[in-house]
Structure 1
Amino acid sequence: MRDFLRSNRREVIALAVLVALLAVYLGTHPRGMSTYVMTIWANQCLILALAAIAQFFAVIVRGIDLSVGAVMALTNTLASHVLGGTGIELIGGAGLVLLVGVLCGLINGALVVFGRIQPIVVTLATASIFVGLALILRPTPGGQINYDLADAMTLDVLGIPTALIIAAMVIGLFWVPLRRTGLGLGLYAIGSSEQAAFQSGLQVRIVRMASFGLGGLFAGLAGLYFSFVTTTGDAGIATNFTLNSIAAVVLGGVALRGGVGSVIGAFAGAFILKTISALMFFSGLPPLAQPLVEGLVLAGAIAIGGAEILRVRNRLEVFAR
């Protein structure tokens, strides 16, 4: 147990903070720990958590993806056009939305890998393009999502919020198997030392492309789930989710220099941020002061990330997990 806690201390600390904040939130909420309250909270948290996972796949290989929110905006506005039907139309529409997310990620990856341009520069440029496309698709918020599908994805199953079930499935069916594969280990190897990874025979270009492709997939999932929650499309969501996705991965223990962290930590960081926002809403804090507090939280998260980099002696220790 001691070894487990030591090797996963970042995730354990983030989860402990989340549990404490959630307890305070439920204790102050007028309705307490009801299915309704937990469902609303989980829905908002999952949107940011999926965006944080998209950011995680860039950060873990020593990058920053400034287009996460833009891909969300593009896929969200696209979903508002293609998810209004029924049956096979919904399946095809959802597949198209996710495909667009993956393509956006692969475009970023190709420019980084083959253009030899820093990720932060590439994604800053592509973010403007993706937002522009989103504005063409939906100049003003609107559109419509199939309400039955939206309800199925955002309500609850036997009192358990569907969002929490989806979160558990992402961790159990995707992340746990992935981190044991060659691709999963390759992501950490590149983040720890790209030169060493290349000299050991790792296909660095392929793994880096895969990381951006996965980032695009989860940004697309975030945009898709945002569509389910709001049942509309909105091109104006880009900036907020990009900044919060960076803060979330840092709060979840993901080192900004790469090679350290996990999807579980990214999840926890996103849930922490959204729980703090919910607490501010019920704390009586003046609405005009809330952006200031959120900005301080974001700044603090980045500061924590910078301090964590100085404490990491050897990022290859992640392979011992």
Structure 2
Amino acid sequence: MRDLLRANQRETIAFSVLVALLVSYLATHPAGPTTYVMTIWANQCLILALAAIAQFFAVIVRGIDLSVGAIMALTNCIASYLVIGTGVEMTFGIIAVLAAGVGCGVLNGLLVVYGRIQPIVVTLATASVFVGLALLLRPTPGGQIDYDLADALTLDVLDVPTALIITVAVIGLIWVPLRRTGLGLGLYAVGSSEQAAFQSGMPVAKIRLASFALGGLFAGLAGLYFSLVTTTGDAGIGPNFTLNSIAAVVLGGVALRGGVGTLTGAIAGAFILKTIGALMFFSGLPPLAQPFVEGLILAAAIAIGGADVLRVKNKLEVFGR
């Protein structure tokens, strides 16, 4: 057990902090630890967690995706048109939403891999395009999502928030198998050293392209789940989720230099960030001061990640001499 905790030290710290914050939040909330309170909390956390997973797949291969929020906005607006009607129509709508997310991710990956442009530049440019498309679809917030589907995926099952069940399913059905595949190992290899991965015979280009495609898929899932929670489409949701997704992966122990961290850590970081926001709301902190404090937390998280990158870079330069 000691070796297991040492090997997963970053994630252990993140989950320990999350538990402490959650206990404080539930103790502070006027209604206490009711199913309703937990469901609202879990829904908000899952939206950011899916966005953080999208960011994780870019960061783990030593990139960064500034279009996560924009893809969420676009898929959210698409969902507000298509995820309604009969069962067949809703199924088609969900597939179309996720396909749009994957398409956005693949476009980012193609420009990064074959255009040989830095990810931060590519995703900053494509984010503007995706937001523009979202605004064309929804100049003002509106649309509708099937209420029965929304209730089924955002309420609870036997007093357990459905969002928590979905979170466990993502970890158990996607991450656990993926990290043991060639693609999962390749993501870490490319993030640790792209040159070494290439010399080992790994298809570096395909791995990086797959990482952005997976990022687009999960950004699409985040946009879809946001649609289910709000039952509307809104083209203006992007900027906050992009910044928060970066902060979440850093808080979850994912290194911005690439090759270090896990998807479960990114999820924990997202839950931590949302729990801090919820805790401040009920802590008596003046409403006007809350954005300031949240901004400080975000800035500190990103600064820690940036400092980690610089420290490794400086070590490499010293060894290079």
Q: Shorter-normalised TM-score: what interval?
A: over 0.9
User: 2:186 & 2:312 partners in 1: Cα distance?
Assistant: 19
SS in 1 for 2:237: helix
Match in the other structure for 1:146? 146
Alignment match, 1:27 = 27
Distance in 2, matches of 1:310 and 1:240, equals 25
User: Unmatched 5+ residue regions in structure 2?
Assistant: 314-321
For 1:1-321, list aligned pairs within 5 A.
Answer: 1-309=1-309
Answer whether contact 2:257 2:308 (CA < 8 A) is retained: no
Listed one character per residue, the Cα deviations across residues 242-288 of structure 1 (whole Å, up to 9, x for unaligned) are 00000000000000010000110000000000000001111122221
Report deviation, 1:129: 0.1
TM (norm. structure 1) is 0.96
Q: Classify the secondary structure of the residue corresponding to 2:38.
A: helix
Whether the aligned pair in 1 keeps the contact of 2:247 and 2:301 (CA below 8 Å) is yes
User: Counterparts of 1:177 and 1:304 in 2: how far apart (Å)?
Assistant: 30
Across the aligned residues of Structure 1 and Structure 2, the Cα RMSD in angstroms comes to 1.1
Q: Deviations over 1:138-190 (max 9, x none)?
A: 00000000000000000000000000000000000000000000000000000
Q: Secondary structure at the match of 1:284?
A: coil
Q: Do the aligned residues in 2 keep the contact of 1:69 with 1:239 (CA within 8 Å)?
A: yes
Distance 1:14 1:311 in 2: 22
Question: TM-score, normalization: structure 2?
Answer: 0.96
Asked if structure 2 preserves the Cα contact closer than 8 Å seen for 1:86 and 1:146, the reply is no
Q: Distance in 1 between matches of 2:92 and 2:285?
A: 44
Runs of 5+ unmatched residues, structure 1? 314-321
Q: Within 2, Cα distance between the matches of 1:311 and 1:27?
A: 39
* CA distance in structure 1 between the aligned counterparts of 2:182 and 2:143, rounded to whole angstroms: 42
Q: Deviations over 1:115-158 (max 9, x none)?
A: 00000000000000000000000000000000000000000000
**In structure 2, distance between residues paired with 1:127 and 1:85:** 30
Number of equivalences: 313
Inter-partner Cα distance in structure 1 for 2:108 and 2:32: 44
Change (3 A) 1:15 1:312: farther
